[in-house]
Chain A
Amino acid sequence: MTPVDTSAPAAREDEGTAWFGLVVGLSAWAMFFAALAFSVGYLRMREPWPLGGMPALPRILPAVAVLLLGASAVLLHLGGRAARATLPTVGALVALVGSLAVQGFVMSALWSAGLKLPEGGAYASAVYGLGGVHGAHVVAGVLGLVRELVRGARGTDVRGAVRLWTLYAVFLAVTGLILFAAVYLP
């Protein structure tokens, strides 16, 4: 039994482990949105959607919001592989903020059209509640990208981090798509 030096297992915080952890974490957290989509589906089974007397939901603008999320994922993917990640990351950040703005505009327009809480019941709850919850996740992405841009401006190589944020952007796009289908599609 001679002790010999052995290489340590994969460095605990190497990129592969971080990537795997993020995939596991985000895939699992998608269950949160699956549960929300299930909730809307359950409520939609009980009564017409939209409810009589309530404004119909737009489709194009919410779809644009999801497309912007997808665009941010594509830009981050490119940024993580480019020599300099700054420009694509700025583009992704703009896309995320744009998505938030579009979603905010949709909600504001619906509120003005008379879809209010609590009178709007489950119908309005799904629009504002789920939109708000997803929006909070997008805000987390915005803050993350701002942080990476600040680190990048200070000279840190953030391409590895940008590759991880790409996963988060994909997560935002996929969950946005799920909620779009659950709430806005007829």
Chain B
Amino acid sequence: MRLFSTDHKVVARQFLWAGFGFLLLGGLLAMLIRWQWAYPGRPVPGLGAVLPSADGSITPPAYMGLFTMHGLVMVFFAIAPLLIGALGNFVVPLAVGARGMAFPKLSALSFWVFAVGGALVLASFGVRLGTASAAWTSYPPLSTHVFTPGAGQTLVMMGVLCAAVSSFLSAVNYVVTVVRARAPGMTWGRLPLTVWGLFLTSVLNLLFIPVVAAATGLLLLDRLTGTRFFLEGAAVAGRGGDPMLYQHLFWMFGHPEVYILILPGWGMIGDMVSYFSRRPAHGYRGTVLAMSTVSALSGLVYAHHLFTSGLSPMLGRAFSTLTLIISLPSTVMFLNWLVTMWRGSVRLTAPLLAAVGAMVVFGLGGITGLALGAVATDIPLHGTMWVVGHFHLTMGAASFLAVFAGLYFWFPKMFGRTLHAGLSKTHVVLTAVLFLAVFGGQLLTGYAGQLRRLYDPYQYEYLRHLLTLNKGTSHAAFTLGLVQLLFVVNLVWSLRKGPAADANPWQVGTLEWTCAPSPPPVDNYAQVPVVVRGPYALSQPEGLEQLGRDWIGQAEVLPDEARRAPEAPAEAAPVVPSAGGVG
């Protein structure tokens, strides 16, 4: 793997390993937070070496840093690089039939800008006064030099800016690749849903990443150059700006970010339920339209995060209505997925189990979000663990299960080796169940009134009875962490000793599986495929009759079709032979 390669597959693997590294870091930080809520003030086993002055227990300032960096690392440095950076870079050119990204150098640049950002974030842990500690939202005035004076917060904000620029560069590349570099015959209606998801995510990234870049840039100016965009009141001498301005800018990006992180997952769910139910995706156009509608609406609802910030009640009603309307297209998508599976020849592979898990957790996350979209119910629940449970289900659990669905599905193509099917399925099922246990526990404590971000919730009399529930939730979280070892073992073992992967182990018809070996060569395809059908030609009578199998390649011309149009060129790339069959 060349370090500065411009091959999209290499860049994808770079994002993958970097994303896993940050996932490990973010996960460990989460475990520490859960320890504090289960055993407040008690020394963490093994942490004495890192925090000798506190004898291994988590101090309030350390705790602030923990939950701040957990959120920032997970959102900007784990989910986004894994779902969009790794899977996006790998899948988009292959699935549209391109020889590579439209701008290969931009692809490499996006990773290296991301890597610089990651390095800044890691460096922030080593500076005096510690890392950032103003929560993942970095609201001023907490995030200004007045309240977090050390260099840690500055380094992290610069790291976030780098991650934002990296996402922006990737988004330009994905959009241009899909629009300009599709193979002949690959119409918009023949794109796999995963590509649609990544395309729409990129459009949202293009529109809203610049907004968070502006917010972060202004915050950095406030911290470093003496401007006063967000500081006011007693915190400044003379006239100041307005911290509320940051909240507007942040949530203009922050709410679409939820969809930025789940749209690729929705696309993957749509693909997986079709492939592994051996049926065409039901209501393909409806699903695409629903995903597009959600994308459009996601930019219009941000102010429901500000219901308790002094927003005008009249605006509250409008934003509440727009927010609740999102549930309509989401329902269309869900129904289409369910109908696709209904009476299908369902194969419970690891990718499908992960996709179904993502459906379930996102469904629960979506339903619990309705309470936060309506003003009347948001006001009592705002700032409680209910919010934490809700967005962990939607942005965390659903996105990570989608990552696993995608990774289990494309792993053979990516590395040319096969994962252990049993370990994969066990990992996915246990992960999904434990996600529900952990984030369900958060919902329950939130409903009982526990505020988020409390160092020791049990200082409050009315929260003391929640210790048992929090302990149970924490133990589920620790188990969830341990279960990930199954994935690590499977990954390491398969990369070293896993059986060589077949060209098309899942027996599906999309270009990457039917026209390229596993792993694909540098230019992806020996010859550019000419697409003649959609991605879901599964269980078609003509395929069964003429080919003796239940799938037809997107660039595969059936003998009958070739005979019926003899003068038309048989424009098709050869289908790579496949023995098929991976559990």
Contact = CB atoms under 8 A, between A and B. Distances in A.
Contacts of B226: 117-118
A125 B181 contact: no
Given A6-B530, A43-B242, A125 B176 contact: no
Nearest to A2: B570
A21 interface: yes
A46 B575 CA distance: 65
Nearest to A51: B239
A9 B574 contact: no
Interface in A10-24: 10, 12-13, 16-18, 20-21, 24
Interface residues of B, number: 62
A27 to B, nearest CB: 8
Nearest to A27: B206
Interface in A73-87: none
A39 B210 contact: no
Interface string A97-123: 000000000000000000001111111
Given A6-B184, A17-B176, A32-B211, A39 B249 contact: yes
B240 A1 contact: no
A21 B102 contact: yes
A6 B571 contact: yes
Given A117-B225, A117-B227, A31 B242 contact: no
B104 interface: yes
A31 B99 CA distance: 31
A134 to B, nearest CB: 12
A5 B527 contact: yes
Interface in B89-123: 97-104, 106
Given A1-B556, A21-B102, A133-B217, A9 B181 contact: yes
Contact of A32 (B106, B214, B241, B569): B214
Interface string A43-56: 10010000100000
B175 interface: yes
B575 A1 contact: yes
B102 A12 contact: yes
Interface residues of A, number: 47
Nearest to A30: B210
Given A6-B184, A43-B242, A129-B218, A119 B229 contact: no
A102 B221 CA distance: 22
B227 A128 contact: yes
A60 interface: no
Contacts of B222: 125
B104 A121 contact: no
B214 A39 contact: yes
Contacts of A128: 225, 227
Contacts of A30: 210
B172 A24 contact: yes
A78 B369 CA distance: 54
Given A28-B168, A31-B207, A118-B226, A4 B569 contact: yes
A33 B249 CA distance: 12
26 contacts: A1-B570, A1-B572, A4-B572, A6-B184, A9-B97, A9-B180, A9-B183, A9-B528, A10-B181, A12-B99, A17-B102, A17-B180, A21-B102, A28-B168, A29-B168, A29-B210, A32-B210, A34-B210, A35-B210, A43-B241, A46-B242, A117-B226, A118-B227, A118-B236, A121-B228, A122-B241
Given A2-B572, A16-B180, 7 more contacts: A1-B562, A3-B527, A4-B572, A6-B571, A28-B207, A43-B229, A121-B236
Closest CB pairs A-B (n = 7):
A121-B239, A35-B214, A28-B206, A125-B227, A32-B210, A31-B210, A122-B241
Interface of B: 97-104, 106, 168, 171-173, 175-176, 179-184, 206-208, 210-211, 213-215, 217-218, 221-222, 225-229, 236-242, 245, 248-249, 252, 527-528, 530, 556-557, 562, 569-575
